[in-house]
Structure 1
Amino acid sequence: MKSLPMTNGFSFERFKWVTYRLLVINKKEYAFGIGGTLIGLYAFWILMGVFGSQQTLQENSTIVLAFGTVIYQIGGYVLTASIFSELQSPGSAAQFLTLPAKTGEKLFSGWVISYVLYTLVAFLGLSLLILVMSLTGNLLFDGEFQNLYDLTKIYLNNVVLVYLVFNSIFLLGAAYFKGKNFLKTAFSIFLFFVFMGILMIILSNIISNFAGPVMFSWSVYPFASFESSGIFKKLFLQLLYVLPLTLLFLTFSYFRLKNRQVA
């Protein structure tokens, strides 16, 4: 068996084998989840084409892709929350903790699987679904060949950045909680937004007593609210606080995972 290099710094070789191990362990769940979702979306599109005579094929495809992006995010959060599931079981925790890899390599492996690889596979699958729907519509429903570019923009617009931030939050939940990680992380996010909403109301009332009525405008997805004529300028403005937030939660995840390594 090939031995892994024992270096003090980050080892790409160790990272590669940890990533490969996680993918092999969960390959059936990932394959069934992504494959079943795409087949289900395609079947839903077929049913709308047969029975939904009030809508065009383009509208049906838009609805299906909207569902697809929602499933992409929810499914990704479930996957992310369970990425360190071995730590939750006394029978498997020792196997994960004694892996010949550093904490940063394990965390980076989990992030690459739950964000980079998952996003690439999901969007390639959705793009393939667009092509199949377009060909099917042309052959079975006598529809025109659909504009792939317009349909692709549906799930590329802001979705990747939203998932980037919340993926890091659920990755922290995967390392922090011990059991029911997805539900506990989702509930924590809900409580945070409730707290922020109450805080905004209190601040608004306090300030209005001194300076008159004040209207607060606050969005759950502030990085999706910029308006700019330039696509790259808008993307740059969004990244200004998407990346710091992501790095912050990844840093918290690293220290939490490191603490559990020595616990």
Structure 2
Amino acid sequence: MNNTFNINRFGLLLKRQWLDFGKVYLISLLVVVGALVGFYFYYIPSPFKENNFDYDGNLDMRFRYPIYLILGFLFISIVASSYFSLLGQKSRAILELMTPASTFEKFLSGVFYTTLVSFASYIILFYLIDLSFVKYLNMHLGEFKNTSKASSALTVDGFFDQILSDKKYREYCVMFFGFPFLITSIFLLGSAYFKNFHYIKTALITMVFSGFCVYVVFKASELLTKNMYRANYSGSEDSKNDILLGLLAATAILTLIFWLITYVRLKEKEV
């Protein structure tokens, strides 16, 4: 089939792909829900616990940051790594390749489900669970005995409300917005490239390559700065913004490269 794009055919392809991909997606989503609820129950402040407050005297909700990042990484990477995994099974691969849709449409469906749907659903899911626990805490703030230096008026902000209300958090969120797309593009490529053990192989190669790149950059900077004196310079706000913008541009370029390689790999399988 040629590489044309037909919106009606693409819609039918999305419905067809959901029959196989939807099972893995929904199971992963249920696991994430259970993990989030479990972590919140375990780490959330309680009147029956000690050390409920942070250094500023507010209820300590810092556990949300590592949970959000780690669970989010695992969820979107596992979902992306499973999308084209059927192409590694000969019996299922034939049916997949015979699907009446162009390679470009199959590639777009992969990007749609593994990037847009998975990332958006995780954000919504985390927001709803966090909002439920935050509302519960705010309804029972009078049960907490605060002996710290904080004021008597306590409030608990939602995770995303806390981030969006801080200017620095908003700037970093914008600059690091491309990382979820980069992660899904890497594991989507792994699902199309490897025949089995897609997630493990992709994760190992990514860790080895990332470690090698960090080592090369560290050694290069060490050689370039040899016999130089270190100057204490915090850098201006513009220079920091330039670094963050450069990071955003780099992640966007790498994401596009991995998507292109995935598309070429799918074309090779069609042949």
TM over 0.5: yes
Matched, 1:79 2:79: yes
Relative distance call for 1:43 and 1:78 in structure 2 (3 A) is closer
Relative to structure 1, the CA distance from residue 94 to residue 42 in structure 2 (aligned partners, 3 Å threshold; closer, same or farther) is: same
Gaps of 5+ in 1: 1-5, 216-225
Change in Cα spacing, 1:214 to 1:15, as seen in structure 2 (3 Å) is farther
Greater C-alpha radius of gyration: 2
Partner in structure 1 of residue 22 of structure 2 = 27
Give the superposed CA RMSD: 3.1
Structure with greater helix share of residues = 1
Shift of 1:127: 1.1
Given that 1:18 and 1:106 are in contact with CA atoms closer than 8 Å, whether structure 2 keeps it comes out as yes
TM-fit CA distance, 1:203:
3.7
Matches of 1:151 and 1:56 in 2, distance apart?
Answer: 19
Q: CA shift at 1:213, angstroms?
A: 5.1
State the TM-score, normalized to the length of structure 2. Answer: 0.76
Q: Say which SS state the counterpart of residue 55 (structure 1) adopts.
A: coil
Tell me the equivalent position of 2:126. Answer: 126
Equivalent residues in 2 for 1:105-184, closer than 5 Å? 105-142=105-142, 144-148=154-158, 149-151=161-163, 157=173, 160-184=177-201
Spell out, residue by residue over 1:119-155, the C-alpha distance to the aligned partner (whole angstroms, 9 max, x if none): 1111011111121011111234547552231056779
CA positional deviation for 1:176: 1.1
TM-score after normalising by structure 1 = 0.78
The sequence identity of aligned pairs, in percent, is: 22
Larger CA deviation: 94-103 vs 46-55: 46-55
Q: Which amino acid aligns with 2:85?
A: S
Of 10, 13, 28, the residue aligned with 2:8 is 13
Quick one: higher RCO (CA 8 Å, sep 6+), 1 or 2? 2
The counterpart of 1:45, out of the listed 27, 40, 44, is: 40
Q: Is the 8 A contact 1:65 1:126 kept in 2?
A: no
The residue aligned with 1:102 is 102
Secondary structure of the 2:51 match is coil
Unaligned runs of 5+ in 2: 145-153, 231-238
Give 3-state SS (helix, strand or coil) of 1:227's partner. helix
1:218 alignment counterpart? none
Q: State which drifts further: 22-31 or 79-88.
A: 22-31
CA deviations on 1:40-97 (whole Å, 9 max, x unpaired) are 3223323333454312496554313430221111221111111111111122111111
The count of corresponding residues between Structure 1 and Structure 2 is 241
Secondary structure (helix, strand or coil) at the match of 2:178 reads: helix
Relative distance call for 1:39 and 1:139 in structure 2 (3 A) is farther
Maintained 8 Å contact 2:32/2:75: no
Give the Å deviation of 1:105.
0.9
